[in-house]
């Protein structure tokens, strides 16, 4: 009896800036780094260039404080939320972004990680001070 398994495409996405969009937002889960906090995983799909269609994920602590990475990303893309407002992260789905990709060394070789995410140039919501 034959058993077939498809070999995954393990493309190492190049370092640097890539145009992408947010395609999925995971369910909140306990943070791997701080058991007292929750995190959420966002998946980004590259939309142009050599790596178009490739996907990368990044975990964010579930916080919209101005110092939290998710809070900064939300402000960059959607503007300043009102104090006390309940924000639906689903609003981020489909948002066009620029991601900065770096490489890290792992046991099985180098892998790509998202270092930063920001609104693409010309966006209506530039970071404060920009």
**Residue 75 and residue 58: Cα distance in Å, rounded?**
17
Quick: pLDDT tens for 50-105.
999 999 999 999 999 999 999 999 999 999 999 889 999 999 999 999 999 999 99
Question: Distance between CA 45 and CA 99 in Å, rounded?
Answer: 10
Q: What percent of the chain has pLDDT over 90?
A: 68
- As a whole number, mean pLDDT of residues 31-36 equals 81
Length of the chain measured in residues: 130
Residue 126 has pLDDT above 90, yes or no: no
pLDDT reported for residue 129: 38
Instruction: With residue 71 as reference, give the H or E element that holds it.
Output: helix 69-78
Predicted local confidence at residue 109, as pLDDT:
85
Averaged pLDDT score across all residues of the chain: 89
* Residue 86 structure tokens: 């309940």
Share of the chain above pLDDT 70, in %: 92
Residue 122 is predicted with a pLDDT of 67
Report residue 117 CA to chain centroid gap. Answer: 6
With b for 16 or more beta-carbon neighbours within 10 A and e for fewer, the 67-84 pattern comes to: eeebbbbbbbbbeeeeee
Which helix (H) or strand (E) element contains residue 25?
strand 16-25
CA 25 to chain centroid: 9
Domains of the chain: 19-118 (2.40.50)
Report, as an integer, the average pLDDT of 1-24.
Answer: 89
All residues at 6 or more sequence positions from 41 whose CB lies less than 8 Å from its CB, including other chains: 24, 25, 26, 29, 57, 58, 59, 60
């Amino acid at each position: 009896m034959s058993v077939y398994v498809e070999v995954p495409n393990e493309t190492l996405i190049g370092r640097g800036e890539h145009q992408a969009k947010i395609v999925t937002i995971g369910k909140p889960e306990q943070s791997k780094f701080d058991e007292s906090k929750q995190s959420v995983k966002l998946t980004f799909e590259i939309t142009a260039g050599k790596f178009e269609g490739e996907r990368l994920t990044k975990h964010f602590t579930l916080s919209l404080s101005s110092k939290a990475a998710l809070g900064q990303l939300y402000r960059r893309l959607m503007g300043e939320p009102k104090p006390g407002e309940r924000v639906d992260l689903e609003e981020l789905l489909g948002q066009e972004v620029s991601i900065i990709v770096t490489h890290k060394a792992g046991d099985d070789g180098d892998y790509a990680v998202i270092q930063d995410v920001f609104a693409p140039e010309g966006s209506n919501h530039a970071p404060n001070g920009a």
